[in-house]
Amino acid sequence: MAEPSGRPVFKPLLRYVRPHFRLLLLSLLLASVSVAAMLYAPILVGDAVDLIVTKDNVDLPGVGNVLIKLGVVVAVSALAQWLMSLCTNRVTYYVVRDIRNDAFSNLQRLPLSYIDRTKQGDMISRLVSDIENISDGLLMGFAQLFTGIVTIVGTLGFMISINFKITLVVVFITPLSMFAARFISRNTFKLFRRQTEARGELTALVEEMVGGAETLKAFSYEQESEKRFEEQNQKLRSVWVRAVFFSSLTNPCTRFINGLVYSFVGIIGAFTAIGGAFTVGQLSCFLTYANQYTKPFNEISGVITELQSALAAAGRVFEVIDEPREQPDVPAAVVLDKVSGALTAENVSFSYVPSVPLIEDFNLNVAPGQHIAIVGPTGCGKTTFINLLMRFYDVTGGRITVSGLPVRDCTRSSLRSSFGMVLQDTWLKTGTIRENISYAKPDATLDEVIKAAKAAHCHSFIKRLPQGYDTPISDEGGSLSQGQKQLLCIARVMLSLPPMLILDEATSSIDTRTEILIQRAFAEMMQGRTSFIIAHRLSTVRDADCILVMRSGHIVEQGTHARLMEMKGFYFELYNSQFEV
């Protein structure tokens, strides 16, 4: 987490700005041109004043020439300002684009443990809202910081050339506004940090409630949901009001100090002009410069407020970018290209929390083409073992081998492509039906997709859709039922047909009649392929070559259905319990 000062965030932020350093230099050059033209304007105005201030000695032609010069100067300043804005906008958009790409890219490479412990809504808030805050802060910061610094330096030089003593008054008093701004900003960074965190929590809550809208309504949870939302919204409002209140003190404080500067300059300058040290036009010019000198301090104080919010947001985004990625493959990792289907687990142990053991001393030998069913009560480690097979998590002890090779010595991509998974929880992407089925095999032809859909018994309902296989659906599945979404996921695996299969409650959302058809399709698909079947309905695993009965992370029994029933042990109790009323 970034420190209250925000300094740790600057270094990684500058890393993204550095590739666009030339554009920044061009912006600075254009800022210099714009400010130089703008600072030359008061001199012209002072000359015009001197041409009309004397009674009966008004030089109108001279004033006309000055006004023409003034018009040219203003046009040059405006053009340079516009070009500078283009450059700073481009730098900002490039920087934000690179940050967002890196954040999303690193998110794809983070271990599943990080995804499991992070709220989805908070992650979305970091990748969308927080990065937008960085964009807003940088956009204002680049433009106003450049012009502000150049304006301060330029006006200081012009004021010294007019009157050194009065310039000292301006120089000594004006920095007080920066001290006030810094004092306030140091105390607002923590508030902006808490504001971004509260917004992330609110986004997570909204995502949770919208995603579970059906369940929410089924249990009449609307009022409780509104109460939770109101509490979180009130928390965000409270910290937001405090952050905005304290940050809004910056501008009035600096304006008050700058107003004092202008007053002092006006009074001292008036007496100096009366004494004949300089003309009324020079006094007018000096007052304009004094105002322009103090104005950037006001603008920079406003930039500081935006930067505090941007730095707080950047700290949260960089936490994602800097999060350690999934342990890379070993240097000599082997690509699994000829998978026989043989698999062993030797003294495997694993726990999500070191102090709470889950799987201990797990041993298993699977021959090529065997169908292994894994059964047991909830929380016994069935799905965890599947996660270890796919290396979503790595074992903490022992080892797992596939075709004689330890999975740690294989590339993750080749290992995972050797398995086909159909899970209880369906996942579809935003796209067409065809794109969802061909997700694991993007180059599949339409005939191959249709063949897989027929094997999964979803061809008939797909043809009834408005555009058939080209019907677009959302990640939530649109109007498809849970069973239809499950069939599409099954068709996806049937299209790729990897050498090993994992079926985790794959038919849990399908009616009994369709399940019978799917089981036949599975039987055909599993021929010659090593398969792992996780099921709570034990009637669906009776034909497995071997049934592993797990309890508290251990295999307590294993064998065929008939053998386990004869033993009249834990499996016997589980099997008969499903028929009890």
The predicted pLDDT at position 291 comes to 74
| 38 and 177 co-located in one domain | yes
Q: How far apart are CA 381 and CA 374, in angstroms?
A: 10
| 299 and 241 co-located in one domain | yes
Counting the structural domains of the chain, the total is 2
Q: How far apart are CA 288 and CA 42, in angstroms?
A: 7
The predicted pLDDT at position 1 comes to 37
The predicted pLDDT at position 447 comes to 92
481 inside domain: no
| 163 and 279 co-located in one domain | yes
Domain final position from 322, 353, 382:
322
**Residue 320 in contact with residue 123, Cβ under 8 Å?**
yes
Entry pTM = 0.67
The predicted pLDDT at position 568 comes to 87
Q: How far apart are CA 362 and CA 374, in angstroms?
A: 13
| 21 and 53 co-located in one domain | yes
423 inside domain: no
Q: How many CB atoms lie within 10 A of CB 506?
A: 25
| 179 and 291 co-located in one domain | yes
308 inside domain: yes
| 295 and 386 co-located in one domain | no
Ordered DSSP codes for 144-160 = HHHHHHHHHHHHHHHHH
**pLDDT in single tens digits along all 581 residues of the chain:** 333 344 467 788 888 888 888 888 888 888 888 888 877 777 777 777 767 766 666 677 777 887 888 888 889 888 988 898 888 888 888 888 898 899 888 888 888 878 877 877 788 888 888 888 887 777 667 667 777 777 888 888 877 877 777 778 777 777 676 677 667 766 676 777 788 788 878 887 887 777 677 677 766 777 888 888 888 888 888 888 887 777 777 777 777 777 777 777 777 777 777 776 666 667 777 777 777 777 777 677 667 767 777 877 888 888 888 888 888 888 888 888 888 888 998 988 888 877 777 888 888 888 888 888 888 887 788 888 888 888 888 888 899 999 888 988 888 888 888 888 888 777 888 888 999 899 878 888 999 999 988 888 888 888 988 889 998 887 666 678 777 888 888 888 888 888 888 888 766 666 777 677 777 777 777 888 888 888 777 767 788 888 888 888 788 888 888 888 888 888 888 878 766 64
**At what angle are helices 60-108 and 21-52 packed, to 10 degrees?**
160
What is the domain extent for residue 77?
7-322
| 261 and 121 co-located in one domain | yes
471 inside domain: no
What does the longest C-alpha to C-alpha distance in the chain come to? 125
| 291 and 161 co-located in one domain | yes
| 267 and 362 co-located in one domain | no
Q: How far apart are CA 269 and CA 166, in angstroms?
A: 7
523 inside domain: no
CATH number at residue 396: 3.40.50.300
457 inside domain: no
The predicted pLDDT at position 2 comes to 38
Phi/psi for 55 (5° steps) reads -65, 135
CATH number at residue 19: 1.20.1560.10
Q: How far is CA 13 from CA 17, 54, 131, 146, 409, in A?
A: 7, 57, 12, 17, 37
**Residue 133 in contact with residue 253, Cβ under 8 Å?**
no
Q: How far apart are CA 407 and CA 419, in angstroms?
A: 13
| 357 and 309 co-located in one domain | no
Domain final position from 322, 356, 380:
322
Ordered DSSP codes for 294-326 = HHHHHHHHHHHHHHHHHHHHHHHHHHHHHSPPS
212 inside domain: yes
Q: How far apart are CA 459 and CA 463, in angstroms?
A: 6
| 187 and 298 co-located in one domain | yes
Q: How far apart are CA 190 and CA 211, in angstroms?
A: 32
Phi/psi for 63 (5° steps) reads -60, -40
Q: How far is CA 5 from CA 182, 208, 301, 461, in A?
A: 10, 33, 16, 59
501 inside domain: no
The predicted pLDDT at position 79 comes to 92
| 237 and 199 co-located in one domain | yes
